[in-house]
């Protein structure tokens, strides 16, 4: 199934929805079923295509996926400042090799004033 591509992600990056839920005080992706989860994600970040994820159209079950445009994350999470929206966008990138790593996320401008123990 196409959704299996998202398994094995860096746990910090995979927790992006949790961070958005804490800021927004409601679920970003309320859960019903696996395919419903995938379509909810697509409704927010947009359905990937060959421009955003080369090779995606050859994945199992992809051709049956509806085509959703991406939403404006700043509107979706209005209490998040622009640096947070930028980080959220990078963490929600569907293409695994283009998604921000946990280390890069911690070095992002959003966390610049928060001291971390290294």
To the nearest 10 degrees (0 to 180), the angle between helices 82-91 and 16-24 is 150
Across 100-116, average pLDDT: 89
| Residue 116 belongs to some domain of the structure | no
Closest among 118, 84, 67 to 16, alpha carbons compared:
84
| Residue 118 belongs to some domain of the structure | no
Average pLDDT of the chain, as a whole number = 82
* Number of independent structural domains in the chain: 1
pLDDT tens-place string over residues 56-91? 889 887 877 889 999 999 999 999 999 999 999 999
| Residue 57 belongs to some domain of the structure | yes
| Residue 67 belongs to some domain of the structure | yes
Closest among 93, 88, 11 to 48, alpha carbons compared:
93
> Regarding predicted confidence, which is higher, 73 or 37?
73
Return the CATH number at 54.
1.10.510.10
Closest among 11, 28, 40, 13 to 80, alpha carbons compared:
28
| Residue 117 belongs to some domain of the structure | no
Which range marks the domain in which residue 28 is found?
A: 2-111
Cβ atoms of 110 and 83 closer than 8 Å: yes
| Residue 33 belongs to some domain of the structure | yes
| Residue 39 belongs to some domain of the structure | yes
> Regarding predicted confidence, which is higher, 23 or 4?
23
């Amino acid at each position: 199934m196409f959704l299996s591509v998202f398994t094995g992600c860096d746990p910090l990056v995979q927790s992006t929805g949790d961070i958005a839920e804490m800021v927004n005080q409601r679920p970003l992706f309320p859960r019903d079923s696996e395919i419903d989860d995938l379509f909810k994600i697509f409704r927010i970040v947009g359905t990937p295509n060959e421009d955003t994820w080369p090779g995606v159209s050859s994945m199992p079950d992809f051709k049956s996926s509806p085509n959703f445009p991406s939403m404006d994350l700043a509107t979706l999470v209005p209490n998040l400042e622009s640096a947070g929206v930028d980080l959220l966008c990078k963490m929600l990138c569907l293409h695994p090799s283009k998604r921000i790593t946990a280390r890069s996320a911690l070095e992002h401008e959003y966390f610049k004033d928060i001291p971390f123990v290294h």
